[in-house]
Structure 1
Amino acid sequence: MSEIIIQNLLSPVVLFFVLGIMASLFKSNLKFPDGLSEGLSIYLLIAIGLKGGIELSHYSIESVIGPIFGALFLGVIIPLMTLIILRLMKMDLKNSIGLAATYGSISIVTYGAAITFLEKSGTTYEGFMNALVVLMESPAILVSLLLLNIIEKNRNVSEISYQSMKFIPAPAKLIDKEVIKESIFGKSILLLLGSLFIGLVLGERAVPTVKPLFIDLYNSVLILFLLNMGLIAGKRLPEVKKHGFKLLLFGLGAPLLFGSLGVFVGSLAHLSLGGSTLMGVLAGSASYIAAPAALKTSVPEANPSIYLGLSLGVTFPFNLVIGIPVYYEIAQWIVF
């Protein structure tokens, strides 16, 4: 295990991420232009979507139905588990929902780093795993907001029907249409789903066109993106301290719990060692793009310094350095 962690620590993607954190903590003037940061994010979303679609074109629906149901199951159960854990920790409802959506959704960059880790270790994985990234991006956000609306609806004072003299809950929408729109047509999901569809339709015909930019340069662009993520994570780290030790413990323990569950579900879906590892990575990661975008408009009372600070300042670096090798080791125990 220690050799795997050290090997991961010495990979370029991790070292550049650490460099970004150090630059931020030491107040360096290093920073990425907003346009470049946005461009790198768009590049990664398109690259992962295209590769997933091209690989998915090689598989029949029968071979992917099990992993698809496994991904959807994780997208539903993880936000529910997160909400229960945080409520037991006495966290208020709105911030609990914020973290449920954040930890139920996935980190596209953690997934990209895991692919690099597997390729470096010579471990193969199912090509359609990129397609599961799309499936796990939205469900947790919708489930979390659905739970919030159900809980709040049950708290509402019931109206009295004068005809039947029975208590009738006040009418309320379970999920606002704007939330659904953001969850399905937000930048990250739109690019992932659109690129996946294009890759699926074109198949191998797309390879000569997309390979020079979106395949050959992928790891190099990922390094730049992680350097920028290091700068951002370094700024978020002090915010986590404000919210106590229990929250920090959750940020470290949740990825191990959910990641282990993801590996187990991957093995039940008959995924390989690499595929089960990636399922664990997806389950153990936390969103800092899609979920925060939805929360900003739908749950404005949730504190961004909590769900962003924890996902980006604690869970993201933990997964990058320790989590990915741990999920790989757990997969070796379960799959073989």
Structure 2
Amino acid sequence: MNNFLDPAILFFIFGVLAGFAKSNLEIPQPIARFLSLYLLMALGLKGGFALYESGVTTEVITSLGGAIFMAILVPSIGYLILSQKLKKLDAAAVAATYGSISAVTFITASQSLDELGIHYGGHMAAAMALMESPAIIFAIIVASKIRSQQQTHDVARPSLGKIFHESFTDGGQLLLLGSMIIGIISGDVAHEVLAPFSIDLFKGILSFFLLDMGLHAARNISELKNKPAICFYYAILGPVSHAIIALILAKLLGLELGNAILLMVLSSSASYIAVPAVLRQSLPEVSPALYMGMSLGLTFSLNIIFGIPLYTYLAQQWI
């Protein structure tokens, strides 16, 4: 219930309602981009400051290993399921989208944990960055194999080297990691100086950004019209299944509560920025409406409103 009283979540719901009402309310793209970069920078700094205090521990190494494992497992399972009902290239694109992560979902979850007083490691921001690329590589490899079997060479595609370079050097991802490194190096001094920027403003900026995301989510849901039923089922049930697998893994690895919740959130989220940008180049045969409608229209909305409190509750019961 508290999740529905959170102003950031209420702004997201307001944005969804405004989008469904076909309002002309809109956040200019340059401003939305700035908000996104601010959130990533602030998150990176917070993670760096936390790592400065804790250092590299067994929990840190174990959490990062679990994140990489989930980043490989989720797209693999997704492709096996989706390829039974969708075209193989479509299945590869959706699997890559769900194998990667949503930074905004993670940021919202970390803010929720802060308000609940649940401790989590700053290294989970690094885990988020590590989970971005494996799914992209998976999709490229699978698509290459499919095209080889189909002997289709008529689609102009950028080189694998270029795609790998873009997936590893995405601006948002670099800013996140760079900010984290700066936080680790500068430590307590920068923490005190930058607190008004990275902490005090965070909730207000997040609320404004979620308003924009709500508008986009409402407008992307319509893209799923006439899509196969499995798209709806997977967009709703897939994330919950991924979160439960992550919970089991977190229990086996002995992760602390906050880190377990964030691993669940990362595993259940789906990319709607970095991966789609790469897929447009590497899998031009697949309509972006398919994976954008699923990830942003359904999964993102459900995770923000219902998923985060559900995953928190499940972890509290089991960890």
Instruction: Give TM-score, length-normalised by structure 1.
Output: 0.89
The answer on 1:63 being equivalent to 2:59 is yes
Query: How many Å separate the matches in 2 of 1:93 and 1:245?
Result: 16
Deviation at 1:150, TM superposition (A): 3.1
Counterpart in the other structure of 1:240: 224
Distance 1:150 1:204, change over 3 A: farther
Pair member with larger Rg = 1
**Cα shift at 1:61:** 4.5
User: Is 2:231 aligned against 1:231?
Assistant: no
CA contact (8 A) 1:126 1:271 kept: no
- Whole-angstrom CA distance in 2 between matches of 1:19 and 1:116: 19
Q: Write out aligned runs for 1:1-336 (5 A).
A: 6-57=1-52, 58-88=54-84, 90-156=85-151, 176-335=160-319
CA RMSD across the alignment:
1.9
Residue by residue over 1:243-300, the C-alpha shift from the partner in whole angstroms, topping out at 9 and shown as x without a partner, is 1432111100111011111222222232211211111000000011111111111111
- Alpha carbons of structure 1 residues 199 and 257: separation in structure 2 relative to 1, 3 Å: same
The answer (yes or no) to whether the contact 2:41–2:176 under 8 Å persists in 1 is: yes
Q: Give distance in 2, aligned partners of 1:294 and 1:194.
A: 22
Separation in structure 1 between the aligned mates of residue 184 and residue 250 of structure 2, nearest angstrom: 23
**Alignment deviations for residues 94-121 of structure 1 (CA, whole Å, 9 cap, x no partner):** 2111111110111111111111222222
Q: Is the 8 A contact 2:102 2:269 kept in 1?
A: yes
Alpha-carbon displacement from aligned partner over 1:129-178 (angstroms, at most 9, x marks no partner): 22211111112211222222234335549xxxxxxxxxxxxxxx9x7001
Distance 2:202 2:248 in 1: 29
2:272 is paired with a residue whose SS is: coil
Q: Residue type of the partner of 2:242?
A: F
Aligned residues: 314
3-state secondary structure, aligned to 2:23: coil
> Could you tell me whether the CA contact under 8 Å between 2:118 and 2:258 is conserved in 1?
yes
Unaligned runs of 5+ in 1: 1-5, 158-172
Contact 1:53 1:131 in 2 (8 A): no
CA–CA distance in structure 1, aligned partners of residues 186 and 252 of structure 2: 31
Identity of aligned residues (%): 38
TM-score of the superposed pair, with normalisation by structure 2: 0.93
Deviates more, 1:219-228 or 1:126-135: 126-135
Q: Kindly report structure 1 stretches of 4+ aligned residues shifted beyond 6 Å.
A: none
Code of the residue aligned with 1:15 in structure 2: it is L
* DSSP-derived class of the 2:207 partner: helix
Contact 1:50 1:199 in 2 (8 A): yes
Q: CA deviation at 1:207?
A: 0.8
Gaps of 5+ in 2: none
The Cα of 1:242 is off from its aligned counterpart by 2.5
**Deviations for 1:75-98, whole angstroms, at most 9, x for unmatched residues?**
11111111111012x201221111
SS of 1:38's partner is helix
**Residues 200 and 151 (structure 1 numbering): CA distance in 2 closer, same or farther, change over 3 Å?**
farther
Q: Provide the rounded CA distance (Å) in 1 between the counterparts of 2:115 and 2:83.
A: 40
